[in-house]
Every structure is written in C-alpha cells, then in structure tokens.
Amino acid sequence: MPDQNFLVDVNLPFHISVWNDTKFQHVKGLNESWKDSEIWLYAKKHDLIIITKDADFSALFLSNGAPPKIIHIRIGNLRMSDFHSFISKFWPEIEVAINDVNLLNVYLDRIEGIK
C-alpha cells in the first residue's frame, strides 16, 4: 500500500482514534474558516486525500477531477460512539479501497468507488 496522507474535514469529529496519527491532518487544526475551495487546494498542493461528509467535495471532484482524492462518508447522522465504531471497523477497508479510485463513497452497507 502506498504512503497515503489524509485531510479530515472540519465537519468530522476531531478525536477519532484511527485518525489520531501523523498521516492525518485536520482542517480544525489548520484553519476552521477555510472555504471548500481552499481545503481542496491545500489537499491538492500537499497530496492529501480529503475525508469528508460534505457533498460539495464530491461535486468538486465531478467537475474538476482528481487530485485530490475524496473519501465521502455518507452514513447520515450517528451518535458519536456509533460513528467511531463504524469508522474504526471499516477504516482498513476504506484505506485500501481508495488506492484504486479517486472518489470513494462510504455508506453504512457498502463502499462504492469512482475512478
């Protein structure tokens, strides 16, 4: 698996154990007031994969292509403990799946990729 680094969008929890690693940067730790376009450009410049719940990034991908790659978490609103459990359980699969695609849509019951 190639070295991958990630940018966690501001709309996702900051304290998720699998994302508490040096390969993860958090928008909250950079600049919470960045617009989506600024996050996109930062990720592109630093070769980061964006992790988000924001559909605007999927739209940016569809109109601009990659890079950056996008992991779009589309699981609705869950309690924090349920969200953490879901991400912890499926993160290894998500991390492998993003290798072969540019946009990865993550649902409660499936993962779908778009090249």
Residue 98: in which H helix or E strand, if any?
none
Ordered DSSP codes for 32-94:
TT--HHHHHHHHHHTT-EEEES-HHHHHHHHHH--SSPEEEE------HHHHHHHHHHHHHHH
pLDDT tens track of the chain, all 115 residues? 468 999 999 989 878 888 888 999 999 989 989 999 999 999 999 999 999 999 999 999 989 988 999 999 999 888 989 999 999 999 999 999 999 999 999 999 999 999 9
pLDDT in tens, 74-102: 998 889 899 999 999 999 999 999 999 99
- Whether the upstream peptide bond of residue 92 has omega within 30° of 0, thus cis, is no
Q: Cα(67)–Cα(89) distance, rounded to whole angstroms?
A: 27
Residue 108: both structure tokens together: 């409660």
Q: What is the pLDDT of residue 77?
A: 87
Q: What is the pLDDT of residue 2?
A: 61
Q: What is the pLDDT of residue 13?
A: 85
